[in-house]
Structure 1
Amino acid sequence: MAKLKLRGKDLIAIGFPQNKAISIAMESMQKHYKRETKERVLVLLKEVLKDPEQFLNDGIFGKIAEALLSDTKTEKQKLKTNRAPYTIFGENDIKDEAKNQLYTALKLPIAKAGALMPDGHSGYGLPIGGVLATENAVIPYGVGVDIGCRMCLSVYDIPPSYLLGSKDKYVNILQKHTKFGMKEVHSNPADHEVLEREEFKTIPFVKKLKDKAYAQLGSSGGGNHFVEFGIVDVPANDAVFNIPPGKYIGVLSHSGSRGLGANIAKQYTYLAMKQTPLPKEAKHLAWLDLNTHDGQEYWLAMNLAGDYASACHHDIHKRIAKALGAKPLTVVENHHNFAWKEIVDGKELIVHRKGATPAQENVLGIIPGSMTAPGFIVKGKGSELSLSSASHGAGRLFSRSKAKQSFTRNELNKMLTDNGVTLLGAGIDEAPMAYKDINKVMAQQTELVDVVGTFTPKIVRMDRA
């Protein structure tokens, strides 16, 4: 069947107003009905034109209906001259580029408050470690490309001495039961209820990603994503963490929503940049109004990607628990690269945490160091200054390209040997020397979190170099 040939004058002929509704309708029909006849498509569009309100929640026609009901024009947004209130933690150790990115975000007309965590460094749009509260709007690049990226820790009542005495066993478990990067997936992907979510049926763009999501379930990304065995040290009783003092074997994983989240981020950032064009220095901070079709759709897709990321971690930990033949004493999980509806100063706002850990009062989280540095199990203090947030790690001291130029494999191997760490995979860009001192970072956020335990890596699996 020939490709659909639809022109603006065809829509005008059936009564479409001469505004953005025409271009939106043509783009949507070419995408979803490209093999249909023009006559059939025009019949469908007449139905939308006759009663657009009836189609507002439709995955394909909703955006057309919204345009038909709206007279607003797309105009370039202007930044405010004054910044919204903010706090920077560990400011002297954060480069100007990251701070300037926060300052730009604070001038958005939708910005109400912000913060920058002590692991902060530059990124796209909002800096890594950036927190931004907005009013009724969500910024896809304020969430990040790896939507719902998270940490997950399982604690086992197994003596840490086993990691040394039976090291080959633990190395084999990681090699067999974890998958990384673009090419590795499990030969037997698990079924999970997240794959049955309505979003995979009702959002056309997301529907196309379901097969990829199924294939990648239980796998981890490249870069700084990892699964590792290590030693959990609990120094004292804590009512929230609720683990007896002692040392245990732990499994810690760090990864996100894989291709599902990356594609959602790309698509809705594109839409945001069309709908809220900004000056060059702020263009990656384009937002979606939550009262619009695309804003509502992104919000649903973002939450789906976050739940999918969690499902990936649960699958990883389930496979490892089965291989260990043991059940964990507890599991601690938290995510970053997300946006939440939260009450700030008595008003519901959208709080973006791009590389920042939620740290509401008594909420548990994990802040990792590097492959040779300890991570910290923390509980939040609910600081208003940080919008109830903390760092999501040590933060990079060297960019990936700079790290490759600055360090050698021999230097990396020596550091691994000195710290008794076995590394499977990873490149020089993930060398511990590329990261800030996690102990210093933790010292810069004592008003944000309390430490209830530590995790020291011993066997680390990452994507191949």
Structure 2
Amino acid sequence: MKRELNADNLAPQGAAGQKEKVSNNELKALGINDVEILVNFSRVANGLLKHNVMSKPEILANMEALIDDPMPYALKKGGKFKNLAEDVIALRKDGKFVKQERSNFKLKEEIADFPVWGLEHIEVGALAQMRTAIQLPITVAGALMPDAHQGYGLPIGGVLATTANTIIPFAVGVDIACRMCLSIFDLPAETIDTETDKLKNMLENHTYFGMGCTTKSHFDSSLFDSKTWNETKVIRTLKDKAYAQLGTSGTGNHFVEWGELTIADHVLDGIPAGRYLALLSHSGSRGFGGSVADHYSKIAMTKTKLPAEAKHLAWLDLDKDEGQEYWIAMNLAGEYASANHHEIHNKIARALNHKPLMMIENHHNFAWKEQLANGTEVMVHRKGATPAGKGVLGIIPGSMSTPGFVVRGRGDESSINSASHGAGRLMSRSAAFKTLDKAAIAANLVDKRITLMGSDMDEAPMAYKDIHAVMTAQENLVEVLAKFEPRIVRMADAREKPED
């Protein structure tokens, strides 16, 4: 007997013997009202669900994103949603299936004041994004750092405190737990000039850059013994990728570099004043963190409907499964990013045959459960911002030819205990390629005695703000303890797609 296929009999059996399915009402909630389109979306959704290709929240999140912008799905060869995306594009050319804006949550009508450091250095777009973030119904407080520039949802350099049980994936950032790490060695800074080739070879042999790059050997992979890698399906599916990429650095503004560290007296415990050889790295949680961010940001935008200008600020509720899953994955990404840096630093320290005198590190794409000065419990999102609580050590880098700084937080309450995460971009990558002069960049590197391995014009020093102006703008947020001057810089090869 021939069986008719429909949305109902395409749905898989649930745990209790009931058929789990993506209902028509759930699809209509995405803005699908035409019967023929509804049938097509239902067929694809429930087919994927039946064959356990994706979870229901992930299917709905992808369909939400497809309806918002079908082009990326249409261009993906062999993609699960390619045919649907092509249908949507064709319909819109005929003026059909126009996406209707939906909003379950309204923004606050009044825009609360928020402090801005270095206002003269910040573009209008970043200010506009911060104003929108301040209007979220869950926002408690916010602040903008002097390196701020536009991002997705929350601007880079934005600090946002929300109610304690909410978390915004895009306010954490795509590169979850992107961080800095500095190793200080008991060797004179002049080692860079006397042992240049040796130090270059260490970077060549023990650092790995590129979007899909992996390593073949590990110094310490004990993090992967943690039971947390089995906590959720998403984490389990990404464990092998994370293991393969342990000790790699990615692309964009990520780097590993040797430099000269000048330390004043009595500022870092046990280290006398002087000029030391130091190793500085900047990278995050690699493909693991990127995949976690992509997965849960889509779910957040499905669960939390906001006006168009705020859609990337969609949040997850920590009282619900998806919020708890993201929280677990984000914190694991933090541990993984730290292990990533330690892997690089330990391998290089072993090659150098010197243990570091001190290692300093900090996240700058993360969310923390904290209390405001009045005792209010909040979730503090720092997207491209450095924790600067009273006495907290951190690192604020400049560019490949300008200084970075070891800092100690002053615990400024109005900044929500935060500071900038670097100089911040002055121009977009495309603008850098269009406007900067290769000869001028090369001359700058020669003048600053920089040996550059990799990189391209979009990471040129001129593409960044003046780090000295940025540091001046936040003197009340951090105390400068030491200055790091880059000398041998390793980055991803030219034209690698940026991940930062």
Q: TM-score range by the shorter chain?
A: 0.7 to 0.9
**Cα offset, 1:337, TM superposition:** 0.6
2:460 matched to which residue of 1? 431
Letter in 2 for 1:329: L
2:52 matched to which residue of 1? 34
User: Aligned equivalents of 2:359 and 2:46: distance in 1?
Assistant: 44
Letter in 1 for 2:304: T
Letter in 2 for 1:387: I
More deviation in 242-251 or 427-436? 242-251
SS in 2 for 1:426: coil
1:305 matched to which residue of 2? 333
User: Aligned equivalents of 1:233 and 1:97: distance in 2?
Assistant: 36
In structure 2, relative to structure 1, the CA distance for the partners of 1:303 and 1:6 (3 Å cut) is: farther
Structure 1 stretches of 5 or more lacking a match?
A: 36-73
**Cα offset, 1:106, TM superposition:** 0.4
2:313 equivalent among 255, 263, 285: 285
1:386 matched to which residue of 2? 415
Counterpart contact for 1:148–1:338, Cα < 8 Å: yes
1:39 matched to which residue of 2? none
User: Aligned equivalents of 1:10 and 1:215: distance in 2?
Assistant: 35
Structure 2 stretches of 5 or more lacking a match?
A: 1-6, 28-43, 54-101, 495-500
**Cα offset, 1:197, TM superposition:** 2.5
Letter in 2 for 1:382: G
Alignment length (residue pairs): 421
1:262 aligns with 2:290: yes
User: Aligned equivalents of 2:12 and 2:445: distance in 1?
Assistant: 67
Letter in 2 for 1:262: G
Counterpart contact for 1:377–1:453, Cα < 8 Å: yes
1:402 aligns with 2:431: yes
User: Aligned equivalents of 1:80 and 1:147: distance in 2?
Assistant: 28
2:110 matched to which residue of 1? 82
1:110 aligns with 2:138: yes
2:231 matched to which residue of 1? 202
User: Aligned equivalents of 1:403 and 1:461: distance in 2?
Assistant: 20
More deviation in 218-227 or 408-417? 408-417
Could you report, residue by residue, the CA deviation over 1:274-294 in whole angstroms, capped at 9, with x for unpaired residues?
000111110100000111100
Aligned ranges 1:44-443 → 2 under 5 Å: 76-135=104-163, 136-238=165-267, 241-344=269-372, 345-443=374-472
In structure 2, relative to structure 1, the CA distance for the partners of 1:324 and 1:18 (3 Å cut) is: closer
Counterpart contact for 2:10–2:47, Cα < 8 Å: no
Could you report, residue by residue, the CA deviation over 1:370-417 in whole angstroms, capped at 9, with x for unpaired residues?
111000100001111100000000000011110111113222111000
User: Aligned equivalents of 1:371 and 1:441: distance in 2?
Assistant: 16
Counterpart contact for 2:121–2:146, Cα < 8 Å: yes
Letter in 1 for 2:386: T
2:38 matched to which residue of 1? none
User: Aligned equivalents of 1:351 and 1:421: distance in 2?
Assistant: 37
User: Aligned equivalents of 1:277 and 1:260: distance in 2?
Assistant: 26
Letter in 1 for 2:448: N
Counterpart contact for 1:189–1:214, Cα < 8 Å: no
User: Aligned equivalents of 2:153 and 2:314: distance in 1?
Assistant: 8
Between the aligned residues of both structures, percent identity stands at 51
SS in 2 for 1:158: strand
**Cα offset, 1:200, TM superposition:** 1.9
Q: CA RMSD, aligned part only?
A: 2.5
More deviation in 13-22 or 163-172? 13-22
In structure 2, relative to structure 1, the CA distance for the partners of 1:260 and 1:15 (3 Å cut) is: closer
**Cα offset, 1:347, TM superposition:** 1.5
Could you report, residue by residue, the CA deviation over 1:35-71 in whole angstroms, capped at 9, with x for unpaired residues?
9xxxxxxxxxxxxxxxxxxxxxxxxxxxxxxxxxxxx
Counterpart contact for 1:16–1:22, Cα < 8 Å: no
**Cα offset, 1:17, TM superposition:** 11
User: Aligned equivalents of 2:19 and 2:111: distance in 1?
Assistant: 42
Could you report, residue by residue, the CA deviation over 1:108-167 in whole angstroms, capped at 9, with x for unpaired residues?
000000000000000000000000000020000000000000000000010111111111
Letter in 1 for 2:125: E
SS in 1 for 2:402: coil
Letter in 2 for 1:80: K
More deviation in 406-415 or 379-388? 406-415
Counterpart contact for 2:181–2:280, Cα < 8 Å: yes
User: Aligned equivalents of 1:103 and 1:291: distance in 2?
Assistant: 27
In structure 2, relative to structure 1, the CA distance for the partners of 1:28 and 1:206 (3 Å cut) is: farther
In structure 2, relative to structure 1, the CA distance for the partners of 1:211 and 1:190 (3 Å cut) is: farther
In structure 2, relative to structure 1, the CA distance for the partners of 1:291 and 1:183 (3 Å cut) is: closer
1:43 matched to which residue of 2? none
**Cα offset, 1:185, TM superposition:** 2.3
In structure 2, relative to structure 1, the CA distance for the partners of 1:452 and 1:31 (3 Å cut) is: farther
User: Aligned equivalents of 1:439 and 1:122: distance in 2?
Assistant: 21
In structure 2, relative to structure 1, the CA distance for the partners of 1:8 and 1:428 (3 Å cut) is: same
Aligned ranges 1:12-27 → 2 under 5 Å: none
SS in 2 for 1:157: strand
Letter in 1 for 2:174: V
**Cα offset, 1:19, TM superposition:** 9.8
Task: Extract structure 1 runs of 4+ deviating beyond 3 A.
Answer: 4-11, 13-24, 26-35
User: Aligned equivalents of 1:394 and 1:6: distance in 2?
Assistant: 57
SS in 1 for 2:115: strand
**Cα offset, 1:173, TM superposition:** 0.6
SS in 2 for 1:412: helix
